[in-house]
A and B are shown apart, each in its own frame.
Chain A
């Protein structure tokens, strides 16, 4: 309650400021970089050189959405630029103007992200702003066990299994680690990496034969996975203790390993499957609402944010990585230096297959995740029959999609506004 009040007071204050002193500034309305420290760095380091100035106002999700809705209903407002996650921007697709006429010059955003920025339309509804991701990390001791001819930056799931097997057999204990603890992000691995790599889908092909193959592969990998994985929440910890040599996790949960022992670890892209190198980007974008008071100025701000200097400053402010090919300076923290190239390699590989965070599930997001977690526990931990489990969990998944009426999101095929089908 108090939090809401503070947010409300903040919003009121922002409103007063926006209407008075900072008339000429572009109002940058965001739901990222909300912590005070990050917001201050955004203002001091990222936005300070923007001609005419920008008023950066990061908000908690509630007030963030409310103001956009209010301005949308009124048909007018003061927001110049909106910075938010892909899923948030997708909820207001019709409110954004086409940004394809912004001349980015030499700046090259990831083509996959530019495609996402169209939000299923023919217009460039948003430009990618910054990204987080999930990658793999290996202890350098593990590299000697890589299978013959395997390239760490171009692994397949089969090679990963062979690698894990070789490590388990030659060191005497399983060295692959997986964040399957209560707070671990295991469901993201199944939703965004394993299943799309084998089925090209996150939802529709949940109970397909390809999905069964994928689960079979994971079960195989699990044989060579440290059984303590069911207790791991942040993989940086077992990596640092040496209990685990190769692991998958969100970059924010791997950073400490690199910052404490920069010379011990390497980061590399997630493996690829028959349908491509699937990965789950956490992508934030920049959009301009139709009612923006000064569209030309707003477009300038978007262009400014895309420049290499600002992309790097944003990384330092928020730990979100650039979405462009901006060169990273040498004096970055070790984690950013190591993880950045892995993220880039993953997102810009020719067979890149982005699988998005769920869009349009509202408060059913937790239940959606639980389907994948339960499937994992039943198939892998309880040794239940793969087909039976997939059939029974598919019923739950189908019901969630029907209840929320959520249309398919990438990489699933467009369901034309209908609830995403579970075939």
Chain B
């Protein structure tokens, strides 16, 4: 067998899979978005943009991703460093940290709903402590920023662990020699983290960031549970166009917007966190 062809041959099944189940449907989605009964049309895009919920949903989604992802990154780095440096009970702590990963995102949303609801845990706690005399309505359309914060908390709680797991794996791959050398030269823990851990983690950071950012743009169930339609987000609007209004063309146009943002972010992270070939471990 030609050894030069082997890698490509091995890639073939995955490529075929991606072509059939990702590229082909996306071509179809693009066709649905831009082809009407009378050929090419921008009607769907116009309907989408003219809807009064479109720009709020773009704003909410982007804002949510822009706040959630950096926060998660910082928290995950801290958690991963703690786990990586533990001498004992490392696995126990790791399991505890990753419990939220085992839940579906809708279940996570419902848990946080149970906390913030008018008759929820937070209210009953505040009332029994005497802080307020009657339950406060937190999740109301009048202060949608509270819904935003609740979604933020739920997302942090739910999905930080996935970033942490990737980073823990990445830290495990960093050879001890680097730290020993750094110590010999007198680098303290903070300096070691900045000069050894972070640069060596670049490939893991890249993976984690791409995964998390794309997922952040696809946020749906948690928002649905906590805010219903009060806090419109892109995927929620796509769902609405497709299933409630049965306007597949407009839903397809929305899907393309999400795809465009996701691709842009992926390219961004690939470039910014590029590790030169040969510099990897």
Contacts and interface: CB of A to CB of B under 8 A. Distances in A.
B133 to A, nearest CB: 10
A367 interface: yes
A230 B246 contact: no
Contacts of A363: 246
B85 interface: no
A364 interface: yes
B245 A182 contact: no
A169 B139 CA distance: 22
A282 B119 CA distance: 33
A370 interface: yes
Given A173-B134, A243-B118, A367 B140 contact: no
Contacts of A181: 228
B232 to A, nearest CB: 10
B52 A367 contact: no
B224 interface: yes
Task: Indicate the size class of the contact surface on chain A.
Answer: 20 to 34
B141 A230 contact: yes
Contact of B245 (A227, A230, A370, A378): A370
A374 interface: yes
A350 interface: no
A377 B134 CA distance: 28
A359 to B, nearest CB: 17
Interface string B216-247: 00000000100011100000000000011111
Interface string B116-157: 001100000000000000100101111000000000000000
A364 B228 contact: no
Interface in B104-122: 118-119
Contacts of A243: 118-119
B115 to A, nearest CB: 14
A86 to B, nearest CB: 22
A366 interface: yes
Contacts of A173: 134
Nearest to A181: B228
A309 to B, nearest CB: 41
A32 B247 CA distance: 28
A227 B140 contact: yes
Contacts of B247: 367
A367 B246 contact: yes
Interface string A352-370: 0000000000011011011
A228 interface: yes
B32 to A, nearest CB: 15
Contact of A230 (B134, B224, B228, B243): B228
B137 A230 contact: no
A241 B124 CA distance: 13
A231 interface: yes
A226 B74 CA distance: 39
Contact of A227 (B134, B141, B224): B141
Contacts of B244: 366, 369-370
A16 interface: no
B239 to A, nearest CB: 10
B23 to A, nearest CB: 25
B245 A367 contact: yes
Nearest to A371: B245
A271 to B, nearest CB: 24
Contacts of B139: 228, 231
B245 A231 contact: no
Contacts of B140: 227-228, 230-231
Contacts of B52: 374, 378, 382
Nearest to B229: A182
B36 to A, nearest CB: 12
Contacts of A227: 137, 140-142
Given A182-B224, A182-B228, A374-B52, A228 B118 contact: yes
B236 to A, nearest CB: 9
A102 interface: no
Contacts of A382: 52
B119 A230 contact: no
Contacts of A369: 244
A355 B87 CA distance: 72
A363 B140 CA distance: 32
Nearest to B56: A382
A17 to B, nearest CB: 35
Interface string A227-271: 110110000000001010000000000000000000000000000
Contacts of A241: 119
B228 A231 contact: yes
B246 A366 contact: yes
A116 B142 CA distance: 42
A83 B150 CA distance: 48
B3 to A, nearest CB: 46
B149 to A, nearest CB: 16
Nearest to A368: B245
Contacts of A377: 229
- Most chain A CB within 10 A, of B134, B142, B224, B245, is at B245
Interface in A310-350: none
A102 B138 CA distance: 59
B103 to A, nearest CB: 21
Contact of A366 (B141, B224, B228, B245): B245
A243 B228 CA distance: 19
A381 interface: yes
Contacts of A381: 141
Contacts of A182: 224, 228-229
Contacts of B142: 227
B150 to A, nearest CB: 12
Contacts of B137: 226-228
6 contacts: A182-B224, A227-B140, A228-B118, A366-B243, A366-B246, A378-B52
Given A243-B119, A366-B244, A366-B245, 10 more contacts: A172-B134, A182-B224, A182-B228, A227-B137, A230-B228, A231-B228, A366-B243, A370-B245, A374-B52, A381-B141
